[in-house]
Amino acid sequence: MTALPFPVVDAPDPEAEERGRKLFASGGEFLKGVVAMSGMPPADRIEVCFAGRSNVGKSSLINALTGRRSLARASNTPGRTQEINFFTLENSHYLVDLPGYGFAKAPVATVAKWQALLKSYLAGRQTLRRAFVLIDARHGVKAVDEEIMSLLDASAVTFQTVLTKADKVKDAEREQALDQTRRALARHPAAFPELIVTSSEKGWGIPTLRSVIAEIS
């Protein structure tokens, strides 16, 4: 039988899960919000970032990973995150929450400024090891997601796709979303070859994502 392209990553073994748990045990701390490259913190540790369409659940996912309910402010208003937000994890990692893209309720000039900052960040952070691109299980990959994936391709930043809100759809619909995502990823050379399925509300996939981040060096 032919292997499935972009399979869902296996659950971590006990040792890997424990490494992930320990990394996130401190809960993380908010460091700063950045609106220009001049405000970036020192590039002195492993860095991973989270990108996704507005209202895809980035803040909720970061909160679930860290076990802190309000570390990253969640909001039902698309486009609320207007800065690149840096969180410290132990003394070894930055978690980076990127501005939501698509359907942001903001002036065109403001959106253009965010996009320019995003491009500069992706191209200019040598310590950025991986981007996690979040895809809503209810909607699959949209045109704006393809845009960020292409930007990551051009920036030579490896990205791994994380399906969010997986508890909000039936099993068959989730499989359809995964299949549609796989077809989209086949067009992007920077795509990491494994997917992660999560639900921040139910805790699905959170230990897996923690262990994946802990293994990045």
CB-based contact 20:196 (threshold 8 Å): no
Residue 5 has pLDDT above 60, yes or no: yes
Q: Average pLDDT of the chain?
A: 90
Q: What is the pLDDT of residue 3?
A: 63
Q: What is the pLDDT of residue 76?
A: 46
For 35-59, b/e burial (b = at least 16 CB within 10 A) is eeeeebeeeeebbbbbbbbbbbbbb
Classify 99 as helix, strand or coil.
coil
Q: What is the pLDDT of residue 1?
A: 41
Nearby residues of 181 by Cβ (< 8 Å), 6 or more positions away: 6, 135, 140, 141, 161, 163, 195
Q: What is the pLDDT of residue 108?
A: 78
Q: Name the token pair of 174.
A: 């989730």
CB-based contact 12:20 (threshold 8 Å): yes
Stronger pLDDT, 118 or 194, i.e. the higher one: 194
pLDDT average, residue stretch 21-30 = 91
Distance CA 28, CA 96 (A): 11
Classify 26 as helix, strand or coil.
coil
Distance CA 207, CA 27 (A): 14
Q: What structural domains does the chain harbor?
A: 14-215 (3.40.50.300)
Residue found by looking up tokens 């997917």 in the block: 195
In this predicted model, what pLDDT tens digit does every residue of 98-134 receive, in sequence order?
988 765 566 778 777 888 888 899 988 999 999 999 9
Q: What is the pLDDT of residue 182?
A: 97
Distance CA 127, CA 48 (A): 9
CB-based contact 208:196 (threshold 8 Å): yes
For 181-195, b/e burial (b = at least 16 CB within 10 A) is bbebbeebebbbeeb
Least confident window among 30-34, 43-47, 82-86 = 82-86
Distance CA 109, CA 103 (A): 14
Q: pLDDT confidence of 37, banded at 50, 70, 90?
A: very high
CB-based contact 19:213 (threshold 8 Å): no
Nearby residues of 9 by Cβ (< 8 Å), 6 or more positions away: 194, 195, 196, 208, 212
